[in-house]
Amino acid sequence: MADLTPDEKQRLHDFAEEIARLAEHHEGRWKVQTSDSRILVAMMSPTAPHGLNVVRLRRQIEAQAPEVVALNDTNMHDPATGLTKIPDLMVITEEDADDTAKTVDSHDVLMTVEVVSPSNSLDDIREKIGDYPRMGIPVYVVVDPRHAEQTVTVHSDPAPGPDGLRYRKTVPYAFGDTVVAGRWTLDTSGLKGYPADW
């Protein structure tokens, strides 16, 4: 979105919000997100293992830091870039949770977690590796329960470089490892992989 003017960023954000309002009136649940000058619309159909993984991570995060909440499927927006995302989990202090706002300001977010869906080609996840540092997200955790992978990758330390603002540290883990993500330590032994036929 670096090529868009502030007015164009605002119009893109407003248009994405209008699409999200329309999607609410249709059957099923939809995610409406923006990336660069595009609006991405996807129908949400989480599976039981996906939902269990999100809940198990959420419980661990909140148990280690009582002052935070881990919100799931909640709109997050960055006014500076105009980007809007809906992560599986976003961690913020309860003090920063504004129950009157339509979206969470991305600069209040301490960490995001995405759990790869069985049908996700990882395009969305990879795109967020570029977008989240620009939105001010200090730690981004990607959980991949697909049968061939079953990994957890922690992206952190966003900093500018010749390729722009990017995460400069990436640490891969396997399911079963103890994962260090920012100030959190996550036990991944209870995470569920997807069946091989998915």
CATH number at residue 118: 3.90.1570.10
Number of domains in the chain: 1
Which amino acid, residue 176?
Answer: G
Is 1 part of any domain? no
- pLDDT number for residue 32: 54
pTM above 0.95, yes or no: no
Which residues, in sequence order, are CB contacts of 142 under 8 Å at separation 6+?
113, 114, 116, 125, 129, 152, 153, 155
Is 136 part of any domain? yes
pLDDT tens, position by position, 31-88 = 555 555 555 555 454 567 888 999 999 999 999 999 999 998 888 999 898 888 989 9
- pLDDT number for residue 139: 98
CB burial of residue 53 (10 Å; 0-12, 13-18, 19+): buried
pLDDT tens, position by position, 116-166 = 887 766 666 788 899 999 999 999 999 999 877 799 999 999 999 999 999
Which amino acid, residue 150?
Answer: Q
- pLDDT number for residue 178: 97
Is 53 part of any domain? yes
Place of tokens 């995405």: 114
Is 35 part of any domain? no
Is 138 part of any domain? yes
Residue 23 has pLDDT above 60, yes or no: no
The domain in which residue 52 lies consists of 46-187
Is 14 part of any domain? no
Residue 18 has pLDDT above 90, yes or no: no
